[in-house]
Chain A
Amino acid sequence: MDNPVLYAINSTFSTIAQSIQAVPGSGIAVNYIKNSYQNDPFRVVLELGLAIYAVKYMLSKKYRIDQNDVQLTEKEIDELIAEWQPEPLVQTLSDIQRMELEKTQVIIGAQGPKPKVQSSGKNLLNLASTNYLGYITNEDLKQTAIETLHKYGVGSCGPPGFYGTLDVHIELEKNIARYLGTESAIIYAQGFSTIASVISAFAKRGDIIVVDDGSNFAIQKGTQISRSNIKWFKHNDMADLERVLESIRVESLAHKKRPLTRRFIVTEGLFQNYGDIAPLNKIMELKHKYKYRVILDESNSFGVLGKTGRGLTELFNVPAKDVDMIVGSMANTLSAAGGFCAGPKEVVDHQRLSGQAFVFSASIPAMLTVCASEAINILSTPQGEKLLQSLQDNAATFRAVILGASQWIELSSVAGSPILHLRFPQAALTTAGVHTRDEEKMLLQEIVDEVAIKDGVLITRAKYVDRQEMHLPRVSIRVSICATHTKKEVEKAAQAVKTAFGKALSRRK
């Protein structure tokens, strides 16, 4: 019985040997394996281990390192699909949202100090637009705009880097730099996205930005997209700013420092949400002590503060070259559109390639550029100084009337600021039984409606994206003073607002 078994085994092995020899290149492989033993089993084990590792690696399935999704079975997926109900494409509006839609005023015709509204067809005194110096209806500017329109047409048809730069853009940049006293300036097409673009052009992961917590939405978004480490300090509280800077310094002593960590302090000149002014002299002191760079957002203060409207640097007598970046808006006071960033030449040139809003947006139309240039020129003439003076006077008049009713109106702006935020004091609200933010909004909306209908004054509540603001300010009515209103009109409007506040509160009691 052995013979057939042995014969079978023998023939199997010889068939295998023949088939291996038939494979081309098998001689090399067999030679390699024969040579490789070399009386050194330890080494052979190592080599075999390496070869097996390579083969195992080749046969492994790929996977993601950070996969933390829940893996569902087919049955679970089917169940979820079966019980899914589609939501309506448009959610039904809540009371507040419906109220916002209905009560928004629509202006018929041109914007100006006394626009006509659609709801009543009457002309209301405009205390809601950021038309601080009344440039919207300035005749010289209108004439310049018409001439430019005839010469340059309407649009610029391209980003500044791709045939969208006109000679008027270069002129405006030189004009702004000369007026502010910095080395150069760069123009952005939209005022809101300017500060966000500037911050993210210079800060990235690992950098440190110290921001005032009363900053506007654009600054918050800018710091968010820059992906840096954000540290907030209490609004306009210099002691708190020093505390934050000191804590950063202590922290960075403990860790090994990254070679090029940039550090910034970002604050606004004239705060949009509170109407007060940042103490620039104290900030410059801290900046020099802790070696930070300052980005100053002068969206509401350029063309408004200072004797000739040069902004916060003029008001505090700080040389503009000391502030690393001055970011401003031409869409507010200058009644054009867009924004600018003024600073040293390297800072400005870097933004020509890295400023996202500069590279990826069309440039400002020529008409608006020339208007902004002209508006800046007017600022330095006696006419401009007169306008600035009457802006301050009107703001002071309004403020004086409102301060007379301090039991039921809380004013968060400082003297000299044309933005006034009027709020109910917290104590008055609790006695009136108003507890939630929505109720407060409704109450303020009553005031807005009443002065619009009865006294012909157009004011507005300050609007925020509630869910996305980092430090949501309290609900308020924001009044923007205009220089071309007469003193009597401003007084009458202030009285109207004051009585409306008092009446709204007494109605609730």
Chain B
Amino acid sequence: MTKLASVYKTDYVQSLDQHSQTNLNSSWVNFKGAWMTNLILIAFLKFAFNIIPGITPEVSWTLTTLVYNVGSYIMFHAVTGVPFEFTQGAYDGITLWEQIDGGIQFTATRKYLTTVPVVLFLLSTHYTHYAPFAFIINFTATVINLIAKLPAMHQVRLFDINQKVGGTTD
């Protein structure tokens, strides 16, 4: 039976495992170097798209926004779990965004990562001279990315994507 949306709450005793050690999978997002790398990657994407022969600035800005939003969505909201195993599967069904700072909302990193797509969107609509088609593409990509970062969407799974199996205690 596919549900439209399902919400999971973490039991207190089960969550003791998660907070006993630093989550090395998600602690790197707090480093200032990571923030700078984020911006450098966006610049790099823009340069890469500029190099393609015959490309107009409008298309390259649109592609940059699109690729950045899709890529960061996959990295933060689609992939679950951690690549190493010392906590008896404590982070098994949890995405990187939900792991950041142990689930605390509105921390500095989350604010930064929410602001970057918004600023990128505003810049790219400006440089595409507000063309409607480009605007629609940019807007949809940015809004989907931002909805995934809402506090109301913490540990919420839509349309059975990344659905946690019944019986997982987390």
A interface, CB within 8 angstroms of B: 32, 35-36, 38, 40, 43, 46-47, 50-51, 53-54, 57-58, 60-66, 200, 203-206, 208, 225-229, 251, 255-258, 261, 354
**A500 CB to nearest B CB, Å:** 45
Query: Contact at A255–B169, with CB atoms within 8 Å?
Result: no
**Smallest CB-CB A-B distances: 10 pairs:** A204-B89, A205-B89, A62-B106, A54-B118, A204-B88, A255-B166, A258-B165, A227-B88, A60-B106, A38-B130
Q: Pick the residue among B130, B132, B142 that contacts A50 (CB under 8 A).
A: B142
Report the tally of A-B residue pairs with Cβ distances under 8 A: 101
| A54/B114 contact (C-beta < 8 A), A65-B154, A255-B165, A256-B165 known | yes
Residue B167 interfacial (CB < 8 Å): yes
A226 to B87, CA, bound (A): 9
Query: Contact at A62–B88, with CB atoms within 8 Å?
Result: no
List A contacts of B10 (CB < 8 A). 66
B96-147 CB contacts (< 8 Å) to partner A? 103-107, 111, 114-115, 118-119, 121-122, 125-126, 129-130, 132, 135, 139, 142, 146
Q: Pick the residue among B111, B119, B135, B167 that contacts A43 (CB under 8 A).
A: B135
Query: Contact at A57–B106, with CB atoms within 8 Å?
Result: yes
**B94 CB to nearest A CB, Å:** 11
Residue B9 interfacial (CB < 8 Å): yes
Residue B58 interfacial (CB < 8 Å): no
Q: Pick the residue among B85, B107, B129, B154 that contacts A62 (CB under 8 A).
A: B107
Smallest CB-CB separation from B103: which chain A residue? A65
Residue B30 interfacial (CB < 8 Å): no
Query: Contact at A227–B165, with CB atoms within 8 Å?
Result: no
Query: Contact at A57–B114, with CB atoms within 8 Å?
Result: yes
List B contacts of A64 (CB < 8 A). 103-105
Query: Contact at A227–B169, with CB atoms within 8 Å?
Result: yes
Query: Contact at A354–B103, with CB atoms within 8 Å?
Result: no
**A353 CB to nearest B CB, Å:** 10
**A62 CB to nearest B CB, Å:** 4
List A contacts of B17 (CB < 8 A). 227
Residue among B10, B130, B142, B170 with max Cβ neighbours from chain A (10 Å): B130
A312 to B114, CA, bound (A): 61
| A51/B167 contact (C-beta < 8 A), A43-B135, A64-B103, A205-B92 known | no
A50 to B167, CA, bound (A): 39
15 A-B pairs, CB-CB below 8 angstroms? Answer: A35-B126, A36-B126, A40-B132, A50-B142, A64-B104, A64-B105, A65-B151, A204-B92, A206-B168, A227-B14, A227-B17, A227-B89, A255-B165, A256-B165, A261-B165
**B162 CB to nearest A CB, Å:** 12
Smallest CB-CB separation from B170: which chain A residue? A205
**A302 CB to nearest B CB, Å:** 28
Query: Contact at B125–A47, with CB atoms within 8 Å?
Result: yes
Q: Pick the residue among A62, A205, A256 that contacts B105 (CB under 8 A).
A: A62
Q: Pick the residue among B85, B122, B142, B163 that contacts A256 (CB under 8 A).
A: B163
Query: Contact at B114–A66, with CB atoms within 8 Å?
Result: no
Q: Pick the residue among B104, B107, B115, B168 that contacts A258 (CB under 8 A).
A: B168
List A contacts of B154 (CB < 8 A). 65
List A contacts of B12 (CB < 8 A). 66
List B contacts of A40 (CB < 8 A). 130, 132
| A206/B89 contact (C-beta < 8 A), A43-B130, A61-B106 known | yes
Query: Contact at A62–B165, with CB atoms within 8 Å?
Result: no
List B contacts of A229 (CB < 8 A). 167, 169
Q: Pick the residue among A57, A63, A226 that contacts B88 (CB under 8 A).
A: A226
List A contacts of B90 (CB < 8 A). 205, 227
**B159 CB to nearest A CB, Å:** 13
List A contacts of B106 (CB < 8 A). 57, 60-63
**B149 CB to nearest A CB, Å:** 9
List B contacts of A226 (CB < 8 A). 88
| A66/B9 contact (C-beta < 8 A), A50-B118, A206-B168, A227-B17 known | yes
A62 to B85, CA, bound (A): 29
List B contacts of A62 (CB < 8 A). 104-107
List A contacts of B125 (CB < 8 A). 43, 47
Residue among A40, A53, A65, A203 with max Cβ neighbours from chain B (10 Å): A65
List A contacts of B165 (CB < 8 A). 206, 255-258, 261
Smallest CB-CB separation from A354: which chain B residue? B85
A47 to B126, CA, bound (A): 11
List B contacts of A225 (CB < 8 A). 88
**A363 CB to nearest B CB, Å:** 21
Q: Pick the residue among B114, B129, B167 that contacts A255 (CB under 8 A).
A: B167
List B contacts of A35 (CB < 8 A). 126
A434 to B107, CA, bound (A): 61
| A46/B139 contact (C-beta < 8 A), A36-B130, A54-B118, A62-B106 known | yes
Query: Contact at B89–A58, with CB atoms within 8 Å?
Result: no
B9-68 CB contacts (< 8 Å) to partner A? 9-10, 12, 14-15, 17
List B contacts of A66 (CB < 8 A). 9-10, 12, 15, 103
A43 to B138, CA, bound (A): 12
A484 to B115, CA, bound (A): 79
A36 to B135, CA, bound (A): 13
**B132 CB to nearest A CB, Å:** 8
Smallest CB-CB separation from B10: which chain A residue? A66
Query: Contact at B103–A57, with CB atoms within 8 Å?
Result: no
List A contacts of B146 (CB < 8 A). 53
Q: Pick the residue among B85, B126, B167 that contacts A204 (CB under 8 A).
A: B85
Residue among A36, A206, A255, A257 with max Cβ neighbours from chain B (10 Å): A206
